[in-house]
């Protein structure tokens, strides 16, 4: 962690450290061109999406389908900033999060710590940092396995893309072999379905056509059965 002045003198593009009134662990720009980026399970910009009466209308929740036989566990293999995990938890699923990138894993842990006394946080479990395609994972059965792999951004809307630009500095896009390994691992787990988030016009992950999809204006959710 560095002061803004020290970071500018060292020409640092990004700094990780406490920021904001709540002192949340954050990524921030020393040039102060954008708000600090943190994981906020207490609301933040997507707080309105977490309202109980709204979650059932989200395409992700529709793609997950209703739990059956009391099975309501979801394994999120690419947790990122935890926004989709929070949505799934708000909809009533117990979500286990996997994240391989150390900075993102730290942001997730900090966000969960700050939300520790909330009902939402009781439905979120963060595993130790690790690579989903290779690490030991908790045993099933799972209701679903969820994937949201990195994908190159299109367009130049700074208001929407700032978070993604920073994530691109931290995370390399998966190559074809990594995508195939990730999807194969997900489909090999004991789960009713695998749900994959994709840009609306992007090809299916690893070139494998899904069983069906839930499509929105900018993204779609592809649904696969077990391998």
Element containing residue 224 per DSSP (H, E): strand 219-224
Under the banding of pLDDT at 50, 70 and 90, the label for residue 7 is low
**pLDDT-derived band of residue 173, with 50, 70 and 90 as boundaries?**
confident
Per-residue model confidence as pLDDT tens digits over 18-68: 877 788 998 888 776 678 889 998 776 666 577 666 788 899 999 999 988
* Residue 109 pLDDT: 97
> 10: burial class by Cβ within 10 Å (0-12, 13-18, 19+)?
exposed
State if pTM tops 0.75. Answer: yes
Give the H/E segment covering residue 212. Answer: strand 212-215
Q: How far apart are the first and last CA of the chain?
A: 45
Report, in this order, helix, strand and coil percent for the chain, each rounded to 5: 35, 20, 45
pLDDT at 160: 46
State the average pLDDT for the chain. 86
Tell me how far CA of residue 36 lies from CA of 18, 19, 102, 197, in angstroms: 9, 7, 18, 25
How many Cβ atoms are within 10 Å of 155's Cβ, its own excluded? 8
pLDDT at 32: 66
CB 219 within 8 A of CB 198: yes
pLDDT of residue 10: 60
- 71 within 8 A of 52, measured Cβ to Cβ: no
pLDDT tens across 100-116, in order?
Answer: 999 999 999 999 999 99
């Amino acid at each position: 962690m560095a002061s803004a002045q020290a970071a500018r003198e060292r020409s640092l593009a990004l700094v990780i450290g406490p920021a904001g009134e709540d002192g949340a662990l954050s990524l921030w720009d020393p040039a102060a061109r954008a708000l600090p980026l943190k994981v906020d399970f207490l609301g933040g910009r997507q707080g309105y999406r977490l309202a109980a009466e709204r979650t059932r209308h989200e395409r992700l929740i529709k793609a997950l389908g209703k739990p059956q036989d009391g099975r309501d566990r979801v394994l999120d293999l690419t947790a990122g900033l935890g926004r989709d995990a929070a949505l799934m938890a708000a909809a009533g699923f117990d979500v286990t999060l996997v994240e391989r990138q150390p900075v993102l894993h730290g942001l997730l842990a900090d966000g969960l710590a700050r939300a520790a006394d909330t009902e939402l946080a009781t439905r979120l479990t963060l595993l130790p940092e690790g690579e989903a395609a290779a690490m030991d994972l908790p045993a099933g059965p799972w209701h679903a396995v969820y994937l949201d792999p990195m994908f190159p951004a299109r367009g130049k809307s700074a208001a929407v893309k700032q978070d993604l630009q920073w994530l691109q500095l931290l995370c390399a896009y998966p190559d074809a072999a990594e995508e195939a390994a990730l999807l194969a691992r997900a489909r090999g787990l004991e789960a009713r379905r695998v749900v994959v988030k994709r840009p609306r016009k992007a090809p299916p992950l690893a070139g494998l056509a899904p069983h069906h999809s839930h499509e929105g204006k900018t993204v779609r959710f592809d649904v696969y059965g077990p391998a």
